[in-house]
Amino acid sequence: VFTFKGIPYAAPPVGDLRWRPPQDPASWTGIRDVTAFGSRCPQVEYTLDQPIYNELFAYRSNASSEDCLFLNVYTPNVSATANLPVMVWIHGGGWYNGAADTYPAEIPTSLHNVVMVTINYRLGNLGFLPTLDDDAPGNFGLLDAIKAMEWVRDNIRNFGGDPDRVTIFGESAGGYTVSLLVMSPMATGLFHRAISQSGVAGVPVVQ
């Protein structure tokens, strides 16, 4: 399995871009190092015993930063003509916890001959705070997911993937995100199948 980690799919959402829709990332020249995961988005840590926490959230990066809009690509074939099906994982965590690096995407990539993509998106107040006016309309975490899928559409063929065979899937809050994207006209055409695992928007949630 070939892995490409810490690829920026949007500009760092800091400064004037905080509480704003994601913007295109800056281009770079030469060879970019993609051997390490990018920082995960700022989040509140669960108050669980450390062994339980480590089991539920097996972070593979210790770094946390507002500059966190990264994705990771796992592929069995880097040929632009491979045209393999693509699966985009949207992590759970209540929209205030979690990261792309918690999902062991190497496993389905090797077992099922698919291209896997895992994404970070803004969490908590930075991702979902609404001020109910034009200053911060909210749902930036969902806009991040759409931006990541636009990156997949434009670039995944270079990693052996077929942009016309994209499945999005997620668990818990990731499943909520998937079901919301199915309903959103902003995501039309960016994916072709969807799987919501243990989380569907519109179903009452007991707090």
pLDDT tens sequence across 142-200? 999 999 999 999 999 999 999 999 999 999 999 999 999 999 999 999 999 999 998 88
What angle (nearest 5°) sits at the alpha carbon of residue 113, between those of residues 152 and 38?
A: 45
pLDDT at position 135: 76
Q: How far is it, in rounded angstroms, from Cα 4 to Cα 124?
A: 27
HSE (side-chain half, CA atoms, 13 Å) at 6: 15
Q: How far is it, in rounded angstroms, from Cα 59 to Cα 47?
A: 16
State how far the alpha carbon of 161 is from the alpha carbons of 1, 84, 114, 152, in Å: 13, 5, 8, 9
Domain map (residue ranges) of the chain = 2-22+32-197
Q: Is 56's pLDDT higher than 60?
A: no
pLDDT at position 77: 94
The beta-strand segments (E) located in 130-186 are 161-171
CA 32 to chain centre: 20
SS3 for 204? coil
Q: How far is it, in rounded angstroms, from Cα 65 to Cα 106?
A: 25
The listed CATH number (3.50.50.60, 3.40.50.1820, 3.40.50.2300, 3.40.710.10) that belongs to domain 2-22+32-197: 3.40.50.1820
Query: Residue 90: which H helix or E strand, with range?
Result: strand 84-90
Q: How far is it, in rounded angstroms, from Cα 147 to Cα 129?
A: 18
CA 62 to chain centre: 17
Q: Quick count: other Cβ atoms within 10 Å of Cβ 47?
A: 6
What angle (nearest 5°) sits at the alpha carbon of residue 156, between those of residues 186 and 3?
A: 125
Q: Are 156 and 86 in contact (CB under 8 A)?
A: yes
pLDDT at position 200: 85
**What integer is the mean pLDDT of 99-127?**
95
